[in-house]
Amino acid sequence: MKVFKELFYKMGRQVPGSKEYTLKAAEMAGLNNLPANSKVLDAGCASGNAAFVLLEKYPIVVAAVDVDANSLKSLEEKAAALNVSDRVSVYNKSMIDLDFESGSFDVIWSEGAIHNVGFYKGISYLKKFLKPGGKVVVSDLTWIKDNPPDEVFWYWKENYPDMTGIQENIKAMEKAGLKSVGHFVIGKDGFWDNYYKLMYTHINYFQQKFVKNSKAQEQLEELQTEINHFVKFGDYYSYVFFIGEK
């Protein structure tokens, strides 16, 4: 297994954010007004960080979609442990290759995953599964300040080539046929508290574990470089939640 994957499984969280940010987005999207058994499609759910926050707070059911079978297995185990298996179904499929009925979901949710298929492409595709008036909630890595220094601009150009600014993502959402309902930028706590601090500890652990594996060391170095960029340039980019309505 690639050391990246193993490290993220161990971390348990694969994207910056927090329970509080997920709930803030849910409130903005009006999940509190939804009747019981409303349907949420979580696209790129991984092992279900966001899904379990939503399931705990709202009487919803979740269709959890991811291309990674191991993450889905872990999600199913957690669902069983939390006694919510009857409210979760998993689909080991790409979020742009689904065969749900059109107009069958109240909410499409996707934290830190839409870039895998492209922000506009993903939203345009997923939108068809929403009921009229349904909401889309996506978080994506986004420039939040103009004129980033070359060093960080080119770093993300190479590692996250489609990254744009807030207004570009709002326009993409509107072009996909959704009304923009709101957006917010997560704070640095969302990067440090649940993500980079954990990652840092795990990098150290894996550096020892794979001490003779130069490929693994290279990958761990890449993660350390990402953290270093955030330390230096974390004012320029963040995850931004975008909320749209069909």
Ligand X SMILES: C[S@@+](CC[C@H](N)C(=O)[O-])C[C@H]1O[C@@H](n2cnc3c(N)ncnc32)[C@H](O)[C@@H]1O
* Cα-based angle 129, 19, 233 (whole degrees, multiple of 5): 95
Where does this chain touch ligand X (CB under 6 A) — which range of 79-87, 110-118, 174-182, 234-242? 110-118
- Judged by CB under 6 A, the residue of 3, 7, 15, 223 near ligand X is 15
Q: Which of residues 45-104 bind ligand X (CB under 6 A)?
A: 45-46, 49-50, 65-68, 71, 94-95
* Stated length of the chain: 246
Tell me the C-alpha to C-alpha distance, in Å, between residue 129 and each of 54, 122, 187, 202.
19, 12, 31, 38
> In angstroms, rounded to a whole number, what is the distance separating the alpha carbons of residues 146 and 118?
22
Where does this chain touch ligand X (CB under 6 A) — which range of 107-115, 153-161, 179-187, 189-197? 107-115
Cβ contact 193:18 at 8 Å: yes
Q: Tell me if 16 contacts ligand X by CB under 6 A.
A: no
Give the nearer residue to ligand X in terms of CB position, either 69 or 80.
69
Q: Tell me if 186 contacts ligand X by CB under 6 A.
A: no
Interaction mask 17-56, ligand X, x per CB under 6 A: --------------------------xxxx--xx------
Of 240, 218, 115, 98, nearest to 170 (Cα)? 240
**What are the backbone angles phi and psi of residue 171, rounded to the nearest 5°?**
-60, -40
Binding footprint of ligand X on the chain (CB under 6 A): 14-15, 43-46, 49-50, 65-68, 71, 94-95, 111-113, 116-117
